[in-house]
Chain A
């Protein structure tokens, strides 16, 4: 903390904040602290301090522009107050009309990725080809190498755009599957009951 205070005293963080502000205006995807430090040729700690300043300045309901931490970086977005006006002028082709199959496929790739289409099909019990193709087209998932061995299936992972569209700081911000899960023990009991009835 002391060192940060000292640095701020040498070069006011406000000036750095202005440069960062400019970079974020130019950017069309979130910028990480590392990228901002590289562009401003400044210390990451000072960049973080400047971002803190900007976060306060561009908080929701304080400005038409909001600074958010999303997809592993920082980005400006429109304030929620302006969303209706935005919707009148712009479209959101990325997430418009996402089907249930596409959402399930997306969930599998987000939680278990990188994974291949056969793996997705095994979990969902139906072919995932068209759902994966639709997600790739939207830019929500992308190819991430192949499975091992000759002729290995292409594996997919989610993109930074996915995190951005869903407003996630990173994939780590997804809720734990255990919190969402059904009671496995209960399911097992029910299956065993059916099995027992079948044998008797």
Chain B
């Protein structure tokens, strides 16, 4: 596996040489694309019929070491720690970690074994039994006060007025007809005067009717100033008045 030929941006040649250069610090780990090395190895593996487990294992160890080296270089704070580690110390550290993990793996296996051996032990589970009993301190109560409280709760609530829901809108057509009839008799009328006696809702509907007549071109509206009385006149008459004024 050491003959693995690499063609990377920063390096071209056998994997073995790459490692030697890295160890002699002639090549910076940050310039090495580890993913490409893995891809190259995987390609080489694919070309062979048999899988060389030993080579795979060695490759994994080396690439892992390479990744760690690169990670430490990329994180500057860790560099000092790395410098302090001789290869032997690094191996020692790695061995320590691996041993720790192996031990805990063995512990996990022991737990699994224990669990299957204890599977026939059944017991009751529930909330903790001997917690101090909760003390409920209540002030002295009088039955009369309780009766008063209940009486207040038992009385019927005041009925809510639904008056505002009884809003009735008269049909717009009613005002259309009324205004048309009015204009048949009079050429001009004052809107505010006409609807002054009506309710607020009726006034609103009457105004809608007025807008409707204006849209249909039946009337012409005029108002001297904002909030001034609205003058309504027959559309034809207005045209005639304008024409007369224009020709005078």
Contact = CB atoms under 8 A, between A and B. Distances in A.
Partners in one complex: yes
Given A95-B115, A166-B114, A195 B104 contact: no
Interface residues on A, range: 35 or more
A165 interface: yes
Specify the main secondary structure of chain A where it touches its partner. helix
A194 B61 CA distance: 8
A27 interface: yes
Contacts, number: 139
A35 B130 contact: yes
B49 to A, nearest CB: 25
B105 A104 contact: yes
Contacts of A166: 111, 114-115, 118
A181 B129 contact: no
A180 B120 CA distance: 25
A3 interface: no
Contact of B123 (A76, A175, A184, A192): A76
B98 to A, nearest CB: 6
Interface string B17-47: 0011001000000000000000000000000
B130 A180 contact: no
Interface in B136-162: none
Contacts of A187: 95, 98-99, 102
Contacts of B99: 181-182, 184, 187
Interface of A: 26-29, 31, 35, 39, 68, 75-78, 80, 82-84, 86-87, 90, 92, 94-95, 98, 100, 103-104, 106-108, 110-112, 123-125, 161, 164-167, 174-175, 177, 180-182, 184, 187-188, 191-192, 194-195, 198-199
Q: How large is the interface on B (under 10, 10 to 19, 20 to 34, 35 or more residues)?
A: 35 or more
Contacts of A100: 108
B30 to A, nearest CB: 20
B100 interface: yes
Contacts of A174: 107, 110
A6 B71 CA distance: 72
Contacts of B130: 27, 31, 35, 39
Contact of B129 (A26, A77, A90): A26
B23 A198 contact: yes
Contact of A78 (B92, B97, B123, B127): B123
A94 B117 CA distance: 15
A180 B111 contact: no
A104 B126 CA distance: 27
6 contacts: A29-B128, A92-B122, A94-B125, A111-B107, A181-B103, A184-B99
Given A29-B126, A181-B99, A182-B99, A80 B120 contact: yes
B115 A192 contact: no
